[in-house]
Structure 1
């Protein structure tokens, strides 16, 4: 049975320029970043010697618009790419989607392929909290096509088309799949003995929606009693624009199974946690920049290519860890430990070969988050 592949379509307000995207994501495979490709349909009679250009802009918004006072701005916008859409390329250079689009649209269609610079940051948006903001916080990309005399020309809304796009990272197809592990121990004031906690995960990379299974072992050689165990998944966020760090709990459970753990006793068990964006409505939780609320995921872990330091990454750096707490009471205190792991999407290119594909064109404006680009422009 043929698989349906969506092709995203949008037309300029004057109806003269129509863009078709095979996908809305720049995909970072660590070794390279795959470009966004598709086709532009524009009549030669309308161009009249002008050219079609593609422009990619990135916006860093690290503060709410309503907090911008006395000339203070919490946003920075950069133009990453501006390129002319060249004449029709050789068929050998076209993807399957582009080939079918060109055959369907005719000679007025021009294929394109737009790539990002190597160090461009991944798309991440931050949960605005209870009061939704008109402009989301985070790292946002826009891909625009416009008609003009030169690339320096300011695009006119009437003959331009803009898409919200993302840069995403997928889990590497080959990795050592090590098992994160840690052990901590503590003693108590005026009490002999010690309390040991061991934490182990069964893998290093988990996929979105997959439960994170944690195996814990508690050896109580102290005179204190462990009353309960708290398990949490912590999302760590670093905003490089402001050099700020913060953490959010994205999954949590308190369990008394196997408790109390009395002196000279041992507990060994597994605890499952499932970090999901649908569970969280807290300011600052990092999401993956989906254009629709309903299919938003927690932001994927930021991964650096081999030989590069994650500290050199730009934008918003996201990481995850499992935290375990042994609660021994207000007087005795607690014992806690963390182990890091990665939360990512699988790489579609690493999956098995797909069946024959058919194509379905979707109007892009109908799936924009809240409002289309045209509607936002009209309000501006």
Structure 2
């Protein structure tokens, strides 16, 4: 019984080069990052003697209009690595290939060449700040891409028709074992009151998955002479843009006023439930989102987990979450309970047997250049059906 693997392919306009990759999501395990690998298919006739290069880049872009200078959006390249693929600089047959690479090389033939990049462990994950509905231009985001191009040399001018770019994502998943369930408590004294107000808030666990309800346990012991008039609970997202200004954007992505009161000398023990979802925040500018590929949906950004010793200044956008519990007593008594919001690690075991035949389903992407953009040759990616004259034929 044969299995099917999706392979992403993209061909440049002059047909000289095409890129084939088995995946576009690469996992940051904190101590290491999945390597980036794929295969480049070249058309020797269309190359006309040019060389072929492949580069992996990470770019931080701040595209808000008020940061633009003379129409050019602020951007900074956090990482760039470029390799020559053709003519190969070493005997490719002696290299170690991944399973997908090996099968692609067998399927695509003699004009296919592998590439391989090791991800540095000090780069941010793919994340973007949601623009407002009326915003135009590029959003504030950390983006990764693979770019393949043919040119006379690595430093020569690259023509759009001879280059192709495929967006990637760097993602993190929740660790298999979470930390201690968070618990915060505080005691507040008041003038003209002999005894204090004590509040305790706790969660069931440290890590929650996207789409999972969050239960907040609240205990109030009100020995003061004041009355608690209302209890307001929110889930706050804190997105800190550390690269250029260390600005923090605090957004309540779920908030409820429960209307509970606690009279002087009374107590309250109650569990409140909140559900932070992007679906309820789609019109709000500045909400941090997980990086997405074109024409795919996404979700609220996952919490950032940083390797010890890495400089935060190079991490672009850092995201954290907290539950805020506020008791309204004339003024407010508040507690912050930190937690992590992430995706569960996908089930292992999706890899296929080396001896098992594979039917490759090729997903093609067509380039359409955005008009009026200044600087980098940005493009839209759209899913299209049909083949390509560089695509391998199914047997």
Shorter-chain TM range is 0.7 to 0.9
Partner residue, 1:297: 299
Partner residue, 2:41: 41
Determine whether 1:337 maps to 2:335.
Answer: yes
Determine whether 1:76 maps to 2:76.
Answer: yes
Partner residue, 1:376: 370
- Equivalent residue runs for 1:19-34 within 5 Å: 19-34=19-34
Q: Is the 8 A contact 1:59 1:75 kept in 2?
A: yes
CA shift digits 1:38-96 (9 cap, x unpaired): 21111234445533211133332224136525688533345511112246744883223
Q: Which secondary structure does the structure 1 equivalent of 2:370 belong to?
A: helix
- Equivalent residue runs for 1:1-380 within 5 Å: 4-65=4-65, 67-69=67-69, 74-77=74-77, 80-85=80-85, 86=88, 89-90=92-93, 93-173=96-176, 175-240=177-242, 241-256=244-259, 259-280=260-281, 281-292=283-294, 295-305=297-307, 307-308=308-309, 311=312, 314-328=315-329, 332-348=330-346, 351-354=347-350, 356=352, 359-365=360-366, 372=367, 374-376=368-370
Give TM-score scaled by structure 2 length.
0.83
Alpha-carbon shift at residue 30 of structure 1 (Å): 0.9
The whole-number CA distance in structure 2 between the counterparts of 1:378 and 1:172 is: 43
Change (3 A) 1:302 1:74: same
Q: Which secondary structure does the structure 1 equivalent of 2:369 belong to?
A: helix
Deviates most, 112-121 or 126-135: 112-121
Alpha-carbon shift at residue 228 of structure 1 (Å): 2.5
Alpha-carbon shift at residue 309 of structure 1 (Å): 5.8
The whole-number CA distance in structure 2 between the counterparts of 1:49 and 1:2 is: 39
Q: Which secondary structure does the structure 1 equivalent of 2:181 belong to?
A: coil
Tell me which protein shows more helix as a share of its residues: 1
Alpha-carbon shift at residue 249 of structure 1 (Å): 0.9
CA shift digits 1:263-297 (9 cap, x unpaired): 22222222222222222121111111112465211
Alpha-carbon shift at residue 184 of structure 1 (Å): 1.2
Q: Which secondary structure does the structure 1 equivalent of 2:39 belong to?
A: strand
Alpha-carbon shift at residue 198 of structure 1 (Å): 0.8
CA shift digits 1:105-134 (9 cap, x unpaired): 222211222333332222211111131322
Q: Is the 8 A contact 1:65 1:74 kept in 2?
A: no
Change (3 A) 1:88 1:219: farther
Q: Is the 8 A contact 1:25 1:167 kept in 2?
A: yes
Alpha-carbon shift at residue 234 of structure 1 (Å): 0.8
Count of aligned pairs: 364
The whole-number CA distance in structure 1 between the counterparts of 2:371 and 2:105 is: 30
CA shift digits 1:311-355 (9 cap, x unpaired): 455211111111111123xxx22211011111122233xx34237
CA RMSD of the aligned region, Å? 2.7
Change (3 A) 1:268 1:88: farther
